[in-house]
Structure 1
Amino acid sequence: MDKLQREEAVANKLRLSEAFRDKQLIKREIIAGITGFFAISYIIIVNPMILKDAGIPTGLSVFATIIASLIGCLIMGFWANAPVILTPGMGVNAFFTYTVVVAMGLSWQEALAISIVASAIYVVIAFTRLSQILADGIPDALKAGITAGIGLFLVEIGLEKAQLIQAGKSSILALGDLTQPATLLAMFGLLLTLFLYVRNVTGGFFIGIFVTSLLGILFGIKDQTSPSVSLGDIGHYSKILFKGNFNHLVSITFVLAVFSMTMILVFESMGLLEGIMPNPKKFKRAFQASSVTSLLSGALGTSPTVAAAESASAIESGGRTGITAIVAGLMFGLSMFFIPLLSFVPQAAIAPVIIITGALMMNQLSRINMFDFSDWFPAFLIVVLIPFTTSISTGLAFGFVAYPILKIAAGRARELTTATYILGGLFLCDLILSALL
């Protein structure tokens, strides 16, 4: 009897230990999800501010951003069981706004249609062998160049929103007026956010935006076009829901934009997921979850979602499963009740986050072999031409065309894959058609 009691006591201890361990694991995942949310929470403000330049009403864009993020995180958590947060992507939202709408002259409704078609192609790639073919066939140097080039583009946009740079009279760009209150506020916000970031303060970006906005209120610094957002505005959300305009589906401009956006979504997502996933075995399902959410985001009225680089903060906090993503998604849902506060956020408070995010994306340059010119120069073209031409598609085209040419010239054609040749040819056609339009 004593032996049975001892065995039962041991069994009870083991069960208690397992239950305690499970609770500790769940607690760690919840903390990781909350940490990841606060790290990326600035997207609720920043994404609508960027899409505003495309003509999408800021107040409604806020709802689209939150809903797309909520759905994306839930899909990632339940389908892929991965600690990755999905939100409308920084970079692809710049392409959506400044390339498709501003540069190409299309409407935001047409840009949504382009996003939907590009994302549909992304879904096909993600759920077929094409995903593995592209992952293996595209050089790491070009993948890194894409992310870094988009990052530099964001830095330029952020500096402009901070009024730290402006169009020059005798040069392309010149230093802005450092005596302007908005510029001084942006500089303060940049220093504060940098300090919080290097100190690894949880939610540092969010805190930076909050403190800078508070100072803006105290000193009366507010954008003339600052949005007034309230939860009641959700009643008008249908104005941007399912508004994709497919009337010019077969036009050359539409096709070129779809091709470029597809390349951005596929290769940026590949690069980010490969860089942050703690368990490589979950890559395929995470890639699929990202593609499905990207498709839904166009119907919801916002630019495509991607895996957020800030997911790394959640993973560093111990996130290893989909619980992290689910918690982050629920946090996005709760944030909807606090959106009226967004009307007090000036661009000077947003600009520092855009600048730092762009700079972080540029750390992908470390993946490029700088001592191999045939690797480095095509990536270099992508990095510099994206911000200099304000066109992500142009940067991609020159980089993908230059890569096979330089490899062949160097007598290293054997390093090229079939995918590299095909994409190089497609991007060459893209350049030629763009020049003829």
Structure 2
Amino acid sequence: MILKDAGIPTDLSVFATIISSLIGCLIMGFWANAPVILTPGMGVNAFFTYTVVVAMGLSWQEALAISIVSSVIYVLIAFTKLSEILAKGIPDTLKAGITAGIGLFLVEIGLEKAQLIQQGKSSILALGDLTKPATLLALFGLLLTLFLFVRGITGGFFIGILVTSVVGILFGIKDQASPSVGIGDITKYSAIVAKGDFSNAVTIPFILAVFSMTMILVFESMGLLEGIMPNPKKFKKAFEASSVTSFLSGILGTSPTVAAAESASAIESGGRTGLTSIVAGLMFAASLFFIPLLAFVPQAAIAPVIIITGALMMNQLSRINMFDFSDWFPAFLIVVLIPFTSSISTGLAFGFVVYPILKIAAGRQSELTVATYVLGVLFLCDLVLSALL
């Protein structure tokens, strides 16, 4: 539904989502032997759509090209010592801020899709119309899903989507542009495969988008994997698996894959090896035969899951020392600027630029690494060039 806003046909991108997830989970399972699910990320797809396509005015084909180039750089980082240098050189407070900021962005997107917030007349945002059937359905779905989640009900997200969708059907609440596609339509899927448009690859907007997406892929994946991996020794190969799948997803016609925060639920349930990922991949494959059911799933049923997923990602705030202003404020900028500007790259840029400045101002240069200096300068150049365009 998010990629639809970028112009990628929903009826086709659903195949890209499933196939990239299937391949990603199998690579993660067999290569890294880690219980981590790889799927197009709920955060990087927002950057793909709302920053690259909507804000920057590029086509979805160019956005796919940007994803592919960014993923190639990601692969180079993952399979070299650069991954270890960045993992050790980037402060945990910034990593946590990235994950939390993307989480808050997802909450905003989920609230919009639930029509619980809207553009205000005298403010940036205002409460949505609570008399609309779709909004009331979303509220029902949110309360139900929250109840199931806090009760620890297995499959709570799925049950919430299912029940909310059934209620929507009973009351005639349906999205106008629901996908109407089945397994037989997979023959049309080639229309979005390998469609990356590299014609503007040497232009400033393209290069800036590549830099920003690379930073998102590397640091979001790094932050998530470090946060959920039960065995830290498997981080390197899991990071490599994530990078390869991210590259393949661009060719398959969707936004880059990342390690899903929902993997934590499988790990909490006892998942410790790649068998968890492999089983999830096979379930993705089975879902190809149930695509027609998506026509009965309104945005109001999906929005609660987006909201709760975003809230779960925000628990990374607990990793930030809020009593140290030089640590907290750069992360704070990342967290608030990502949703306020609808740009993940803008939030990252301000956080990475301000962090070394505050540390130097506090006379604590010893806490800075070469990586923080280099990234700070690169992000500063990114901000300057973006302002001049």
Normalising to structure 1: TM-score of the pair?
A: 0.88
- 1:291-318 superposed Cα distances (whole Å, 9 cap, x missing partner): 0000000000011111111111111222
- The match for 1:139 among 82, 87, 91 is 91
Spell out the pairing of 1:13-92 with structure 2 (5 A cutoff).
49-92=1-44
- 1:202-239 superposed Cα distances (whole Å, 9 cap, x missing partner): 11111111111111111000111222121121110001
Give distance in 2, aligned partners of 1:377 and 1:355. Answer: 25
- The match for 1:117 among 69, 73, 77 is 69
- 1:340-393 superposed Cα distances (whole Å, 9 cap, x missing partner): 000111111111111111111111100000000000000000111111111111
* 1:204 paired to 2:145: no
* 1:195 paired to 2:144: no
Give distance in 1, aligned partners of 2:94 and 2:304. Answer: 27
Spell out the pairing of 1:235-384 with structure 2 (5 A cutoff).
235-384=187-336
- The match for 1:392 among 341, 344, 351 is 344
| 1:166 alignment partner, SS class | strand
* 1:102 corresponds to: 54
Structure with max Cα Rg: 1
* 1:148 corresponds to: 100
Give distance in 1, aligned partners of 2:265 and 2:115. Answer: 30
| 1:290 alignment partner, SS class | helix
Give distance in 2, aligned partners of 1:404 and 1:413. Answer: 8
| 1:53 alignment partner, SS class | helix
Amino acid at match of 2:321: N
Give distance in 2, aligned partners of 1:94 and 1:359. Answer: 16
Give distance in 2, aligned partners of 1:157 and 1:324. Answer: 29
- 1:138-195 superposed Cα distances (whole Å, 9 cap, x missing partner): 0111001111111111111111111111111111111111000000000000000101
Post-superposition shift, 1:290? 0.4
Give distance in 1, aligned partners of 2:328 and 2:181. Answer: 46
- The match for 1:403 among 355, 358, 363 is 355
Give distance in 2, aligned partners of 1:106 and 1:66. Answer: 25
* 1:45 corresponds to: none
Give distance in 2, aligned partners of 1:311 and 1:395. Answer: 25
Give distance in 2, aligned partners of 1:356 and 1:280. Answer: 26
Aligned length: 389
Give distance in 2, aligned partners of 1:121 and 1:99. Answer: 20
- The match for 2:172 among 211, 214, 220 is 220
User: Which blocks of at least 5 consecutive residues in structure 1 are unaligned?
Assistant: 1-48
| 1:318 alignment partner, SS class | coil
Post-superposition shift, 1:137? 0.3
Give distance in 2, aligned partners of 1:359 and 1:82. Answer: 24
User: Which blocks of at least 5 consecutive residues in structure 2 are unaligned?
Assistant: none
| 2:381 alignment partner, SS class | helix
Amino acid at match of 1:85: I
Contact 2:246–2:258 (CA under 8 A) maintained in structure 1: yes
Give distance in 2, aligned partners of 1:349 and 1:76. Answer: 29
| 2:176 alignment partner, SS class | coil
* 2:82 corresponds to: 130
Post-superposition shift, 1:79? 0.6
Identity of paired residues, percent? 87
Normalising to structure 2: TM-score of the pair?
A: 0.99
* 1:413 paired to 2:368: no
Give distance in 2, aligned partners of 1:308 and 1:173. Answer: 29
Give distance in 2, aligned partners of 1:423 and 1:79. Answer: 30
Amino acid at match of 1:78: F
Post-superposition shift, 1:322? 1.1
Contact 2:179–2:292 (CA under 8 A) maintained in structure 1: no
| 2:6 alignment partner, SS class | coil
Q: Which moved more, 1:150-159 or 1:226-235?
A: 226-235
Q: Which moved more, 1:226-235 or 1:119-128?
A: 226-235
Post-superposition shift, 1:276? 1.1
- 1:308-335 superposed Cα distances (whole Å, 9 cap, x missing partner): 1111111122211111111110111011
- 1:389-409 superposed Cα distances (whole Å, 9 cap, x missing partner): 111111110000000000000
| 1:56 alignment partner, SS class | coil
Contact 2:145–2:160 (CA under 8 A) maintained in structure 1: yes
Give distance in 1, aligned partners of 2:122 and 2:278. Answer: 52
Amino acid at match of 1:205: F
Task: Note the aligned Cα RMSD (angstroms).
Answer: 0.7
Give distance in 1, aligned partners of 2:270 and 2:316. Answer: 23
Post-superposition shift, 1:272? 0.9
Give distance in 2, aligned partners of 1:356 and 1:318. Answer: 22
- The match for 1:161 among 113, 116, 136 is 113
